[in-house]
Structure 1
């Protein structure tokens, strides 16, 4: 077993092993990127106890990890505001936390940092590389280079706490057994299962609907592929239902499955087509090949899905749109960059999918 640093030495005498609190709230993709890192951590240090502070919804993500539990952050209820965060800190202190790994570094976690400092509990935070990302995304004098991945930045926090890990040791979990409801909805056949998650939080990294439909149509006509559509929300559900009704080998699972059921399905896919968004990271946990489409963002920002090859990242035309990436999350759309993803031909996407399958 790897050896830790000073903090590890201070707490390893405990019968149950050191207890690490991991803070990562926010969006699904950010939380999903924690999973491979924690997997390596708990397999490198099998006596560790890990509590992940996050939304209750994300609990199924961590269910296959030994010695890892989720503590719900009810930030809109009992844990809201400074007083609520004080309550949360006391609750976590009573869980006998030894050290804290803050993988978020936002206002809420900084309030917790101050309280844990008062309790005398060591607290380390992620270095988000804000200056490097600003240099990468600025319009003038852009420093166009690959930055550290978010996974590496997460791992650095554990190293600072005395628990260095090697992400190259990650082993994806075995495919989840398909839950009965998934069988009922998806059925069984010999076709390749291709997941398609055509949406993203921001327009700047969402492939145009008409172009995506051309991809769906061509793959449906292939006859050897079952297309499974992922999304969420009323408008997305409505759109994917149209494609389900229109194309023979196409199925939308929006609103039909729980999150745990979706994960069991994703773990059994043959490939996933996704934007720079959460579903890419979910599939990567299980070692599923991910083909990702990139608009105003870029893999150089460090958000490429874990262990996925660069050649599976299909990029917009940077020669025509040299300001890419314009932001880390795709929020900033400069004038003239509204249709940047139209520079990715559907045929290019289809060819890559067939190559991967």
Structure 2
């Protein structure tokens, strides 16, 4: 049976499949979203070989979790033409594996090349356009393969051991609260004012004097990290530019709370099951918001100009975010921590 709208061919054999390939090529945050759902799926097939295929620049994270038998890397950089050629070569190699099922969580031209050449008995493809969160669409795609529901499993076994030593070497003590501040929204229209992060931090320290704040990520936010360190002093650890994506994901497992703008690190936080307060300005919350009772998304969907997707606020004041005061955000964070 094939449903042309949802695009899937479910598994109909009596015996369970022995080899399943999942494909998610880009981007970092979207790739990370798939992991708890694949982990939930694996519980249905504990004896099966579960493999993963992603692009070269994102493969460190899936390689860092004890989830996959094999992680395959698609080369070709960001050139679609080169990716397509590499996909053809890789598919010819993977064809020898004889996958029973392929779950295409990317659904673009390159992933279609691979899926069609592998010709599995069962397959399903990601719904790219429905106005529901990416996590829900991922779960639906996995369910469509016909092997049961795949509720997310947020508890990962991480391979790299250096995350704890990196934190303790920077002043954090195991057992103390670790709060990640992530002012990493790519656009100005997705940035909460830095002084609000400072005031939020001071409210936290009044309640939890031994708390440590952490900023990590790429060099793009280093100036923000320096400012926060100047304001919050020794209570803040600045690891910007000092971690790989895999190490950042491992560190996230030790966080108590993450206050974050819309970014890849935000997805790392909620898929790790950590209390996550997500600040969405111009972003579409129906596509990208974090899911689960451990997350809160403060978004602009209730505003007439909300979720505009503009790079700069047309009013010049990013009112969709500035309306959320540090005290209000602190209270929301408290709600999550009390759970």
TM-score range normalised by the length of the shorter chain: 0.7 to 0.9
SS in 1 for 2:140: helix
Aligned to 2:229: 244
Aligned length: 322
Change (3 A) 1:171 1:226: closer
TM-score, length-normalised on structure 1? 0.78
The Cα shift of 1:309 comes to 5.1
- Aligned equivalents of 1:150 and 1:98: distance in 2? 25
Aligned to 1:271: 257
SS in 1 for 2:170: helix
Equivalent of 1:172 in 155, 175, 182: 155
Alignment of 1:284 onto 2:266 = no
- Aligned equivalents of 1:309 and 1:164: distance in 2? 24
- Aligned equivalents of 2:23 and 2:263: distance in 1? 20
- Aligned equivalents of 1:303 and 1:68: distance in 2? 29
Structure 1 spans left out of the alignment, 5+ residues: 134-146
SS in 1 for 2:52: strand
Change (3 A) 1:88 1:309: same
Change (3 A) 1:175 1:105: closer
Q: Describe how 1:50-129 pairs up with structure 2 within 5 A.
A: 50-56=50-56, 57-61=58-62, 63-76=64-77, 80-116=82-118, 119=119, 122-128=122-128
Structure 1 residues 301-323: Cα deviation after superposition (integer angstroms, max 9, x where no partner): 1433231356x2223483xx313
SS in 2 for 1:85: helix
- Aligned equivalents of 1:44 and 1:273: distance in 2? 33
Judge conservation of contact 1:197–1:279 (CA < 8 Å) in 2: yes
The worse-fitting range, judged by mean Cα deviation, of 41-50 and 280-289 is 280-289
Change (3 A) 1:269 1:40: same
SS in 1 for 2:146: coil
The worse-fitting range, judged by mean Cα deviation, of 24-33 and 339-348 is 339-348
Judge conservation of contact 2:107–2:126 (CA < 8 Å) in 1: yes
Alignment of 1:351 onto 2:331 = yes
- Aligned equivalents of 1:114 and 1:252: distance in 2? 46
Aligned to 1:136: none
Change (3 A) 1:65 1:123: same
Aligned to 2:314: 335
Judge conservation of contact 1:179–1:261 (CA < 8 Å) in 2: no
Structure 1 residues 189-230: Cα deviation after superposition (integer angstroms, max 9, x where no partner): 654211111112333322233433433454456633211112
Aligned to 2:307: 325
Aligned to 2:29: 29
SS in 1 for 2:169: helix
The Cα shift of 1:83 comes to 2.5
Alignment of 1:7 onto 2:8 = no
- Aligned equivalents of 1:122 and 1:322: distance in 2? 44
Structure 2 spans left out of the alignment, 5+ residues: 1-8
Structure 1 residues 208-261: Cα deviation after superposition (integer angstroms, max 9, x where no partner): 33433433454456633211112212x312320232244221111112233333
Change (3 A) 1:189 1:268: closer
- Aligned equivalents of 1:88 and 1:331: distance in 2? 38
The Cα shift of 1:127 comes to 1.7
- Aligned equivalents of 1:306 and 1:212: distance in 2? 23
- Aligned equivalents of 2:154 and 2:193: distance in 1? 35
Judge conservation of contact 1:126–1:157 (CA < 8 Å) in 2: yes
Judge conservation of contact 1:220–1:227 (CA < 8 Å) in 2: no
Aligned to 1:45: 45
The Cα shift of 1:62 comes to 5.6
Aligned to 1:162: 146
Judge conservation of contact 1:317–1:344 (CA < 8 Å) in 2: no
SS in 2 for 1:244: helix
- Aligned equivalents of 2:120 and 2:69: distance in 1? 23
TM-score, length-normalised on structure 2? 0.81
SS in 2 for 1:167: coil
